A and B are shown apart, each in its own frame.
Chain A
Amino acid sequence: MTEPLLSVRNMTKRFGGLVAVNDVSFEIRRGEVFGLLGDNAAGKSTLIKCISGAHHADEGEIFFEGQRAQFSHPIDARRHGVETIYQDLALANNLDVSANIFLGREVKHSFFGGLVHTLDNKAMLREARKTLETLQIQFPSLTQPIETLSGGQRQAVAIARAVYWEAKLVIMDEPTNNLGVPEQKKVLELIRRLRDQGVPVILITHILPDVFAVTDRLIVMHRGRKVAEKITAQTNTEELVQYMVGARDDSGARGDANGAAATAPADPAPPR
């Protein structure tokens, strides 16, 4: 609990004249769920992509497990234990649960001194079942293709995949979007379970009930800047909304000094 697992320092990312992420710093510790809040185009996704290697920050540093880290590619980040679960989950809908958990890292039998390799489906099924056990997830069947599963079940598969591959940090992008209420609860429950197993989670969301249900700490972003850093138990919905719409700002660099330039490029939110 002493040393932060991930530490982001003064990160800035520009797209041409647009400053999508503006001098953002924060730290993640083991065993916490960390909320990353903000309205559309606040810079949440860009920030996450800079961490996971999909983008390269223009300024700032990332320290992961105390080491200076600069992931060149999402797969590189993943190899180091940073697993990002995007909304589309990166599941192959035509394949079954265990095939998806092992996608790209299949377990193989080897014959004739390594000349012939076949898939070891039994071993993969066994390991998949074990992982789902530890997360206390139950499926009717692990050999059903993903396309027959519900949204919440798919989330569970994506989470189980991260857990099996010993993710040290899981980043989840709006995981409860498009889910029914009972399933939202189950996904949040899974996030808690991840934390209890010592895997911190960065939860990207703008859904405040989710924030209060699972996060321990949070930051709020507005137009690329970090406008607040709070302990969840010490804030409330009203306050967070004010931060999210830009009515409050703790960062000091008040207001729209950068004007339109501070707005992230994709789908810019109208000024409120």
Chain B
Amino acid sequence: MTDRGSRIALPAEAAASARETPAQRVALLLSRIWAWLFLGAMTLFFVVAVPLVSGGDVNFLTVRNSQNILVAIIPVLLLGLGQTFVIISAGIDLSVGWVMSLGSVLSALALRWAFNSVAPLFPAVVVGLIAGVAGAAAVGLVNGVIIAKLKVPAFIVTLGTSFVVRGVAYLMSENTTVIGLPPGVRAYGNDALLYYIRGNGGGLYVLNRPEVSGDLLRRMDTILPYPVIFTAFIVAYAMFLLGKTQFGRHTYAIGGNMDAAVRTGIPVDRQIIKVYMLSAATAGVAGFLSTLRFTAGSAVIGDPLLLSSIAAVIIGGVSMFGGAGTVVGTMIGSLIIAVLTTGLVMLNVEAFWQFIVVGTVVIVAVLIDQSRELITGRHRGGPAP
């Protein structure tokens, strides 16, 4: 008989972390922060290489270029944000590209209608936002219900809805760009919090785009465009939602062990539906912002971004098996893609090289993720029951 008073210490067989050698620990650390290192190394490369190639005329590390990268990142990041939640819950959403298109078309149509119905510009823009996001979220609702309630694999459901949404977006836009938006929309999509004109006759302008042209315009930097600020708020909210709330915890739990989630009483079906609605809604926001940016709605705007956004999520360390990943990771993944694209263009390299590099990085990212198990000798999910 065992002594009843004794403490039960259970460290012996597992506690793998305690048994790792220093080399293993370094390898593990590297495998966790490699994306940051890669981003840093790549940026450094462009900082050095761009002036060399251009003979010193062009620099990579400028205010203007940093703002260009921030603007370029928006759609990929927004699509990736929702996708992060979906993939952490062990799903996939292939419809976000066309949902973004739908969001763009819907918000343009609604905005135009509202403005022509004698709404002032700002309320009309809000109507556009609501229409784009609500229309997109409706698609997410359909995705979620079919996946959660009818148990159809997410891959199939979202592939199907992506075709349906594509058709709807083309039909609604009558297969053409939705134009005729009030010209003031341009400001919402492109103006910035700050303007800075370097040198003579310049200065800092806050919330006020200086009417300049010629040389002054060339010397003017646009700092923190409104869409960037808007996106930053959404990113902050997504970080909060995933990291600090029950919503996030349940998303991780479902991706980690669906059975356990069901048996511990997590409302799994409802959670899955919400996750797909969130994914579609962020795609809707991306569509809305593109409408503001181009002062037009477009049914073809989102499709090319789908795979980039999934790539960003994977590079950012979200596990395709579900259960692991962060919003910050997805941000880094999006940044890597945006920096790469911008940098290659500035190096005068054919833009198609970006696809080759991004593709390689995606595969390397997953290899690094898997190598973690090799390093520790553990398998994801532990021993079979």
Contact = CB atoms under 8 A, between A and B. Distances in A.
Interface of A: 74-75, 78, 87-95, 99, 103-106, 108, 117-119, 135-141, 144, 146-154, 156, 178, 180, 182-183, 185-186, 188-190, 192-193, 196
Nearest to A155: B10
Nearest to B385: A88
A88 to B, nearest CB: 4
9 contacts: A75-B265, A92-B256, A92-B260, A94-B324, A95-B252, A104-B264, A153-B10, A188-B2, A196-B4
Contacts of A117: 245-246
A138 B266 contact: no
Contacts of B10: 137-139, 150, 152-153, 156, 183, 186
Contacts, number: 139
Nearest to A157: B10
Contacts of B380: 93, 147
Nearest to B324: A94
Contact of A92 (B261, B265, B384, B385): B261
B260 A144 contact: no
Contact of A140 (B7, B11, B260): B11
Nearest to A88: B385
Contact of A148 (B16, B259, B264, B383): B16
A118 B244 contact: yes
A21 to B, nearest CB: 22
A153 B382 contact: no
B260 A147 contact: no
Q: Is the interface of B mostly helix, strand, loop or mixed?
A: loop
B382 A93 contact: yes
B8 A92 contact: no
B381 A93 contact: yes
Q: Is the interface of A mostly helix, strand, loop or mixed?
A: mixed
Nearest to A180: B13
B378 A90 contact: no
Given A94-B252, A94-B323, A117-B245, A153 B4 contact: no
Contact of A138 (B11, B17, B248): B11
Given A75-B265, A90-B264, A138-B7, A106 B249 contact: yes
B218 interface: no
Interface of B: 2, 4, 6-18, 240, 244-246, 248-250, 252-253, 255-257, 259-261, 263-266, 323-324, 378, 380-385
Contacts of B249: 95, 99, 106, 119
Contacts of B381: 93, 147
B264 A182 contact: no
Nearest to A75: B265
B385 A150 contact: no
B256 A95 contact: yes
Given A118-B245, A119-B246, A136 B8 contact: yes
What are the 6 closest A-B residue pairs judged by CB atoms, nearest first? A150-B14, A104-B264, A94-B256, A92-B256, A94-B323, A150-B13
A92 B252 contact: yes
Interface centre among B6, B18, B263 (most CB of A within 10 A): B263
B383 A91 contact: no
Contacts of A91: 257, 260
Contacts of A88: 259-260, 385
Given A94-B256, A152-B10, 18 more contacts: A74-B263, A90-B260, A91-B257, A92-B252, A92-B323, A95-B253, A103-B253, A104-B253, A104-B261, A118-B244, A136-B6, A137-B8, A137-B9, A137-B10, A146-B382, A147-B378, A148-B16, A183-B13
